[in-house]
Amino acid sequence: MKGLLGWWRRRQNPLCRGSDRLEAWAALLLAAVLLLGVPTVGIAAGLASWDDGRARAEARARTLHQVTAETLHDAPPAVRGSDVSTSTHRIPVRWTDPDGTRHTDRAKVPAGTEQGTSVSVWLDHNGEVAQAPPTTDAVTLDAVSTGTGAALGAAVSALALWWAHRRVSLRRRLAEWERAWEQVGPEWGSQKS
């Protein structure tokens, strides 16, 4: 930033070439994109993902219903070193419909669940065990991941464009110096001390 402020004060300097001015303006644009554009892209993508995820979770929850089932076997204990709160196993469970019909199927239950424990099971419209709709935490995590990825993508794209611009500017600057030297160089070489 200090270099940009210095350029602004010296922009009328006769040694400041057009490519130098263009490069300084591009640096200002890059700073604006990184400070304003990247967060805006990340927030917009995250909010869009959150809205979409929440709508999908609500739609899925409307197609499912929850029943209370009883486990028919003990679930194996959690594997050593794993997170007990997220470790699950599929074991046989039984539930009864309101009309008295009994059903048996396999459902995911927390590790270490004992036989005879009551667990909540999600069923689809056919009465078959289905995966639970995403929780608010899962939707939020997905939205944060999407927003972060979009922001990083925008930042990488902006920096890649800046890098390409710098390469083109350098080539132009070297060509300008070459043309200037072609005009001045012969005069320097012809002078004798």
pLDDT tens by residue, 113-141: 889 999 999 998 888 888 889 999 999 99
For residue 5, what pLDDT is reported?
Answer: 59
Average the pLDDT over each of 34-43, 136-145, 173-182 and give the range with the smallest value. 173-182
Tokens of 21: 């001015």
Tell me: pLDDT of 191 over 70: no
Phi, psi torsion values for 106, nearest 5 degrees = -100, 140
Cα–Cα distances (Å) from 2 to 18, 27, 85, 158, in that order, read: 20, 12, 52, 21
Nearest-angstrom CA–CA distance, 190 and 193 = 10
The model's pTM is 0.68
pLDDT tens track for 142-163: 999 999 999 999 999 999 999 9
Asked whether the beta carbons of 87 and 78 are under 8 A apart, the reply is yes
Asked whether the beta carbons of 84 and 111 are under 8 A apart, the reply is yes
3-state helix, strand, coil in the chain (%, to 5): 55, 15, 25
Nearest partner of 156 among 30, 26, 2, judged by Cα? 30
- Output the CA torsion sign for 82, 84, 88, 92: positive
Interior angle at CA 175, CA 169 and CA 180, nearest 5: 125
Q: Maximum CA pair distance of the chain?
A: 114
Q: How many CB atoms are located within 10 Å of the residue 1 CB? A: 8
